[in-house]
Chain A
Amino acid sequence: MTSVEIPTILRTYTGGERSVTATGATLGEVVDSLEVRYPGIAERLVEDGSLRRFVNVYLNDEDVRFLDGLATPVADDDTVTILPAVAGGSLTIELR
């Protein structure tokens, strides 16, 4: 089982739990595993088959954007951490 750290804003899906477990050989499978237990959470993380631009996902100490995104292999003793980006600004065009 892989540990997944859930940020405050997504704890509404996990009944308030900040640390949950999931199974999967890749990050994509871990997300699917989370969705089974916490329906609706996957849509907050993934859009059109890729991780959302303003959600940061880490495998242990690394940002998975610099690994293999959703295809990144995950092991049982790994920790996946999810942190929404801290971003904003006066820019008026909505970025995707």
Chain B
Amino acid sequence: MLEISQELVDQIVAHARRDHPDEACGVIAGPIDSDKPVRFIPMVNAARSPTFYEFDSLDLLRLYRELAANDEDPVVIYHSHTATEAYPSRTDVSYASEPNAHYVLVSTRETGTQEGPFEFRSYRIVDGEVTEEEVRIGSGSA
């Protein structure tokens, strides 16, 4: 199960809408071993593509050093699909490399950059296996 604040959900969705039609991507960090998403870290999609995302390699190094210095884990790794459903693709599964993270997928296929309905779902991806999990949204901020 992913427990996440409404504020963080709103920030992820806003990022996805802003970057539409390109896929948006980012991380939510939390204290090591807490499994609690706290700090929103939107990343640049170096691929700038409507069907692929990748963190720039030096952005990634900076991110992981920052997480280590703060005693944080990447609790959530999120990205958006802009024309398909919010379900991990074969590509998403191939490249998922953080076994302890919650992989959040948002789809902006219905409303694009505008307000309106969207899909927000979360998954564990471990050893090539996808398991969807419940998302419990708490009120207020982290």
Residues on A facing B (Cβ under 8 Å): 7-9, 54, 56, 58, 61, 63, 65, 81, 83-92, 94-95
Residue pair B52, A83 in contact (C-beta under 8 Å): no
Residues on B facing A (Cβ under 8 Å): 23, 25, 27, 43, 47, 49, 51-55, 57-58, 60-61, 64, 77, 79, 81-84, 88-92, 94-100
- Tell me the bound Cα distance from A91 to B79 in angstroms: 13
Residue from A9, A90, A92 with most neighbouring chain B CB atoms (10 Å): A90
A-B contact pairs, 20 of them (CB 8 A): A8-B97, A9-B99, A63-B58, A81-B61, A83-B57, A85-B55, A85-B60, A85-B95, A86-B43, A86-B54, A86-B95, A86-B98, A87-B47, A87-B55, A87-B91, A89-B47, A90-B23, A91-B49, A92-B91, A94-B91
- Tell me the bound Cα distance from A91 to B82 in angstroms: 11
Residue pair B97, A9 in contact (C-beta under 8 Å): yes
Which of chain B's residues has its CB closest to A10's CB?
Answer: B97
Residue from A63, A81, A88, A94 with most neighbouring chain B CB atoms (10 Å): A88
Residue pair A86, B89 in contact (C-beta under 8 Å): no
- Tell me the bound Cα distance from A30 to B49 in angstroms: 35
